[in-house]
Amino acid sequence: MAGSEFDLISQYFSRLGGSRDDVLLGVGDDCALLQVPEGMQLAVSIDTLNEGVHFFPGSDPESLGHKVLAVNLSDLAAIGAEPAWATLALTLPAIDDDWLRAFSKGFGRLAEIHKVRLVGGDTTRGKLAATVQVHGFVTPGQALRRDGAEAGQLIGITGSLGDAGLALRLLQRGEETDSAGMRELRLRLDRPTPQLAVGRALSGIAGAAIDISDGLLADLGHICARSGVGADIKLDLLPLSPQVADFVRSTGDWRLPVAAGDDYVLCVTVAPDRQGLAESRARQAGSPISWIGEIKAQPGVHCWLPDGSRLTQACVGYDHFG
Ligand code: ADP
Ligand code: MG
């Protein structure tokens, strides 16, 4: 994309997000030059959204700009980091000013909320895809890693599960999504909220954490695999929106809340003697914790139905190569 590639970058991407003193050189040079605060560690994560895989062709560009940054910030939230910088690699089929204006608006608004500065990127021609890398800071020893779960710790989640999955299901079936209830579900799918405040509030307190992008069972499974433990989940303790609760009641199908992705709430494990502290910190951060189960020494993640029997529905999370 020679020629107007540079106009495009300067028009839409040279001033996105909050301005920061630690950006010594931002968009426009061969590299960005960034100052990590004295004594802090750098947390780095990258995620891609591909057309036809992560979003439908023709999706609203403003939502896409929001979501590609949000899913990355969710990873910083899950490790308890304070976000600082982002880079953006964008592949576009053509230059479409309306699309670029909307995309950069969605990206920029979320970046400003979290004082994140876009400091560089790459722009190429091809099938629509957006990759964002985010950078944040953690205090040494305070990061919320996946490998810190231990038997006896309580499992908590910081928001309702299955809303994005239900929205996707309704969209795929071409069902009506105009009611107020459905609009809420669509927001969970299209404009996820990265739970940065609660991630930071629990850093140094929780044993382990992960953000739920691929479904509770898959992501809690990652904590268990990295920590060499298992987990028991009590399904009647899962926080569900009225819409998802209705769906489960009427179909008997638990796969939405336990296996659908794109929720971006945090799943944390907390030692029982820190339960009260974790609860009050999370509440102060605006994302109350629901306690849904317990870490076990025996490997395997099991879900228990309200009647005391074990859930046997095939529940696997999303796997791109599965
Ligand atoms: P180079 O050829 O040296 O890699 P580019 O032409 O790719 O440089 O980019 C020029 C400048 O614009 C660089 O500072 C780069 O980081 C920035 N940039 C390119 N694309 C984007 C984008 N989509 N968002 C933000 N910055 C971008
Ligand atoms: Mg480049």
Q: Give pLDDT tens digits for 96-106.
A: 999 999 999 99
Minimum-distance ligand 1 atom for the alpha carbon of 16: 25
Spacing, Cα 84 to ligand 2 middle (Å): 21
CA-CA distance, 203 to 71, in Å (whole number)? Answer: 19
CA-CA distance, 185 to 188, in Å (whole number)? Answer: 5
Contacts of 22 (CB under 8 A, 6+ apart): 34, 35, 36, 37, 84
Spacing, Cα 30 to ligand 1 middle (Å): 8
* Under 8 Å between Cβ of 216 and 158: no
Across all residues in the chain, what is the average pLDDT? 94
C-beta 122 within 6 A of ligand 1: yes
| Strand pairing class (300-304; 230-234) | parallel
- Ligand in nearest proximity to the CA of 90: 1
Q: Which residue did the predictor score with more confidence, 313 or 65?
A: 65
C-beta 120 within 6 A of ligand 1: yes
- Confidence band, pLDDT 50/70/90 cuts, at residue 2: very low
Report, as an integer, the average pLDDT of 246-268. Answer: 95
From atom 22 of ligand 1, which residue's Cα is the shortest distance away? 121
C-beta 119 within 6 A of ligand 1: no
Q: What is the reported pLDDT for 176?
A: 66
Tens of pLDDT, residue by residue over 141-161, are: 999 999 999 999 999 999 999
Spacing, Cα 122 to ligand 2 middle (Å): 4
Minimum-distance ligand 1 atom for the alpha carbon of 12: 24
Spacing, Cα 24 to ligand 2 middle (Å): 19
Which residues crowd ion ligand 2, with CB under 5 Å? 122
- Confidence band, pLDDT 50/70/90 cuts, at residue 180: confident
From atom 9 of ligand 1, which residue's Cα is the shortest distance away? 122
- Confidence band, pLDDT 50/70/90 cuts, at residue 315: low
* Under 8 Å between Cβ of 137 and 198: no
The pTM for the full model equals 0.95
Spacing, Cα 1 to ligand 1 middle (Å): 12
Report, as an integer, the average pLDDT of 6-10. Answer: 89
Length of the chain: 322
C-beta 28 within 6 A of ligand 1: yes
Spacing, Cα 139 to ligand 2 middle (Å): 32
Q: Which residue did the predictor score with more confidence, 181 or 32?
A: 32
Spacing, Cα 249 to ligand 1 middle (Å): 51
Report, as an integer, the average pLDDT of 24-39. Answer: 97
Minimum-distance ligand 1 atom for the alpha carbon of 28: 14
Sign of torsion, CA 207 213 219 222?
A: negative
Tens of pLDDT, residue by residue over 210-222, are: 999 999 999 999 9
